[in-house]
Amino acid sequence: MSKRRPSIGVFDSGFGGLTVLKALLEVIAGADFIYFGDTARLPYGSKSVDTVARYAVDSSHYLESHGAQLLVIACNTATALALDRITAATHVPVIGVVEPGADSAAAVSKNKRIVVIGTEATVSSQAYSKALAARGMQATEKACPLLVPLVEEGWVEHPVTKQVAGIYLGEAFQGEFEDADVLVLGCTHYPLLKPLLQSVAPAHVTIVDSAESTARAVARRMRALLPQVDDGEDERRAQARLKFFATDSVEKFQRLGQRFLGRSIEGVQHVDLKE
Ligand code: DGL
């Protein structure tokens, strides 16, 4: 008798969380993924805690009501500001991106000094610094608000982006963090800039991508929570099935989203979340 395929909900403020979905698809097969991008209300990175929490809880409820058995909060800002509120408001396990990112960074750092880059809101919350301090690390966080629009413009190898990133990282890797040996990408958009960031960061720095760390954490959690994914070779080899929901233009989601997911996106459904 075939069992129900596991269903994983992935939430983000927009397109960026597709980098997390991309990483999830690399390590988990045989699951249904439901992706919700709150494109009508992005960016979250410049908004207040209460606003982000309200939007993120609405969106998480939507995913839960569409059958998600586990929720991945792919948005760093929503994780940093509202993971507790999302967890309290939903009835399924919730995994954010901050704790897995902090785990990987702590495992890689030799001198226990780490630089985290993210949105204004993520940096103000100090969620990464707190998670890293709990692992015995010292961290400095740097808001890089210009990087999200540059990535959405497709300027991932552009000289202007290189100059902007160089200024941000120059300001972050200074003083007692001059010799920090890990750079955490604490924003969904930054994985697209990984080669550029590696080229402007000090040569000794290792980049930790929260998207990859989160995907590995979700795979581990899924095996424990949803054992049907381990039903057998056929199930494991089965293709992932994807569904996409967006609160703004479906056409724009398809066009921009494919850059983040690295493959074409079809069948996006529009959702109108009433305030
Ligand atoms: N998804 C957001 C994050 O990872 C970036 C985009 C936004 O500000 O909404 O923080």
Same structural domain, 30 and 107: no
102 Cβ neighbours under 8 A, 6+ residues apart: 128, 131, 132, 134, 135, 137, 184
Predicted pLDDT of residue 228: 59
User: Which residue out of 10, 11, 12 has the highest number of ligand 1 atoms within 8 Å of its CB and is therefore the one to mutate?
Assistant: 12
Task: With respect to residue 125, please indicate whether it lies within any of the assigned structural domains.
Answer: yes
For residue 197, give both structure tokens. Answer: 């960031």
Domain final position from 186, 210, 234: 210
Task: With respect to residue 159, please indicate whether it lies within any of the assigned structural domains.
Answer: yes
Residue 54 above 70 pLDDT?
yes
Ligand 1 atom with the shortest distance to the CA of 46: 8
Average pLDDT in the chain: 94
Same structural domain, 190 and 200: yes
- Expressed in angstroms and rounded, the spacing between residue 120 Cα and the centre of ligand 1 is 10
User: Which residue out of 119, 209, 214 has the highest number of ligand 1 atoms within 8 Å of its CB and is therefore the one to mutate?
Assistant: 119
pLDDT confidence band for 227 (50 / 70 / 90): low
Domain final position from 210, 234, 257: 210
Predicted pLDDT of residue 231: 45
Ligand 1 atom with the shortest distance to the CA of 44: 9
Predicted pLDDT of residue 29: 85
**Pseudo-torsion of CA 137, 99, 56, 255, nearest 10°?**
100
Task: With respect to residue 37, please indicate whether it lies within any of the assigned structural domains.
Answer: yes
Same structural domain, 43 and 173: no
Domain final position from 166, 193, 210: 210
CA dihedral (38, 40, 82, 125) positive or negative? positive
Same structural domain, 88 and 224: yes
Predicted pLDDT of residue 254: 96
Same structural domain, 142 and 87: no
Instruction: Using alpha carbons, select from 204, 262, 198, 249 the residue that is nearest to residue 37.
Output: 249
For residue 138, give both structure tokens. Answer: 């010292």
- Expressed in angstroms and rounded, the spacing between residue 74 Cα and the centre of ligand 1 is 9
Task: With respect to residue 1, please indicate whether it lies within any of the assigned structural domains.
Answer: no
What is the average pLDDT across 235-249? 83
Q: Look at ligand 1, atom 7, and give the residue with the nearest C-alpha.
A: 43
Give the Cβ contact number of residue 240 at 10 Å: 15
Q: 27 near 221, Cβ under 8 Å?
A: no
Residue 238 above 90 pLDDT?
no
Instruction: Give residue-wise pLDDT tens across range 134-163.
Output: 999 999 999 999 999 999 999 999 999 999
Residue 47 above 50 pLDDT?
yes
Same structural domain, 84 and 28: yes
Same structural domain, 88 and 124: no
Q: Look at ligand 1, atom 8, and give the residue with the nearest C-alpha.
A: 45
Task: With respect to residue 2, please indicate whether it lies within any of the assigned structural domains.
Answer: no
Number of domains in the chain: 2
Same structural domain, 77 and 103: no
Q: Look at ligand 1, atom 1, and give the residue with the nearest C-alpha.
A: 75
Same structural domain, 28 and 121: no
The terminus-to-terminus CA distance of the chain in angstroms comes to: 42
Task: With respect to residue 275, please indicate whether it lies within any of the assigned structural domains.
Answer: no
Ligand 1 atom with the shortest distance to the CA of 13: 9
- Expressed in angstroms and rounded, the spacing between residue 141 Cα and the centre of ligand 1 is 15
Same structural domain, 11 and 64: yes
Same structural domain, 135 and 261: no
Residue 104 above 90 pLDDT?
yes
Provide the residue range defining the domain that includes 168: 98-210
Q: Look at ligand 1, atom 6, and give the residue with the nearest C-alpha.
A: 43
For residue 93, give both structure tokens. Answer: 């396990």
Task: With respect to residue 123, please indicate whether it lies within any of the assigned structural domains.
Answer: yes
Instruction: Give residue-wise pLDDT tens across range 32-45.
Output: 999 999 999 999 99
CA separation for the pair 27, 179 (Å, rounded): 33
| Ligand 1 environment, Cβ below 6 A | 12-14, 16, 42-45, 75-77, 118-119, 122, 148, 187-189
CA separation for the pair 80, 120 (Å, rounded): 11
Residues with catalytic roles: 75, 187
Same structural domain, 204 and 216: no
- Expressed in angstroms and rounded, the spacing between residue 256 Cα and the centre of ligand 1 is 15
Residue 59 above 60 pLDDT?
yes
Predicted pLDDT of residue 1: 42
Predicted pLDDT of residue 78: 98
Predicted pLDDT of residue 232: 47
- Expressed in angstroms and rounded, the spacing between residue 235 Cα and the centre of ligand 1 is 33
The CATH number given to whatever domain includes residue 155 is 3.40.50.1860
Task: With respect to residue 263, please indicate whether it lies within any of the assigned structural domains.
Answer: yes
Instruction: Give residue-wise pLDDT tens across range 165-209.
Output: 999 999 999 999 999 999 999 999 999 999 999 999 999 999 999
